[in-house]
Amino acid sequence: MNNYFDLQGKTALVTGGNKGVGKAVSLGLAEAGADILIVSRSGAPDELIEEIEQKGKRCEVIQHDLSQLDQINDLVSKSLDLCGKIDILVNNAGVQRRADAVDFSEEDWDFVQDVNAKAVFFLCQAFGKRMLERGYGKIINLASLLSFQGGLRVPAYAASKGAVAMFTKSLSNEWASKGVNVNAVAPGYIATEMNEALIADEKRSKEILDRIPAGRWGNPEDLAGAIVFLATRAADYIHGEVLVVDGGWMGR
């Protein structure tokens, strides 16, 4: 069964692959045999690059701000120049802004939509086009529990992740018969930098923890396994799925 989960010879691009969930995903894909291209606004630490290379895999890094939507074609060109091909695209990078809905600014709304939804769609489009030409590709987008629920004080984030879930399905409807798998992973409450404000709020953090059947917040490695699975041959017949990885939250 090992060959079902073997990514030898594949190249994976991970946005936001330098820390948190993205770092865990980069390491997990490398462990499975893929070469890694990390796209991040701040680059990637030498220690992470070395850790990937110690697994016998290549690691390239492109510094890129995904909010600069007019530069996506440049990112695609740089990626293909560096790696020749992208077999696996993991759209992990995301941003968050919190405010009461009555006070939520247009600037914050546009920023969240641009990074979390618009950039993700157009990366799917750009790399998907190349995958369709080759008749092979795996695209895994990061959705959220807020693809299904409204959340509190995060209307733009909820809207963006609802969009990700729906265009994941839409792209799958067009591309599933052409060798390209498009799926998403919806993380539950994961202990990362983005959730520091929630974790620091003792009352809210306890409310969240009390609802999670697994009895703990998730960690980035909990998501890495699910994303690696969707990137492998083991998931060839999975299309348009939004895989919830939430410690049982949605089943409560």
Q: Return the pLDDT at 177.
A: 98
What are the structure tokens assigned to 177, written together?
């018969």
Q: Residues 218, 189: contact at Cβ < 8 Å?
A: yes
Q: Residues 137, 87: contact at Cβ < 8 Å?
A: yes
Q: What is the residue-level pLDDT of the chain in tens, covering all 252 positions?
A: 568 999 999 999 999 999 999 999 999 999 999 999 999 999 999 999 999 999 999 999 999 999 999 999 999 999 999 999 999 999 999 999 999 999 999 999 999 999 999 999 999 999 999 999 999 999 999 999 999 999 999 999 999 999 999 999 999 999 999 999 999 999 999 988 777 877 788 898 899 999 999 999 999 999 999 999 999 999 999 999 999 999 999 998
Q: Identify the burial level of 158 via C-beta atoms within 10 angstroms of its C-beta, where 0-12 means exposed, 13-18 middle and 19 or more buried.
A: buried
Q: Return the pLDDT at 248.
A: 97
Q: d(Cα 103, Cα 154) in Å, to the nearest integer? A: 11
The sign of the torsion formed by the CA atoms of 207, 246, 157, 92 equals: positive
Q: d(Cα 186, Cα 249) in Å, to the nearest integer? A: 11
Q: What is the length of the chain?
A: 252
CA distances from 50 to 56, 86, 130, 157, 232 (A): 10, 21, 29, 33, 24
Q: Given the residues 136, 157, 189, 237, select the one marked as catalytic.
A: 157
- Give me the domains of the chain, ranges plus CATH numbers: 2-242 (3.40.50.720)
Q: What is the largest CA-CA distance in the chain?
A: 53
189 catalytically annotated: no
Q: Return the pLDDT at 2.
A: 61
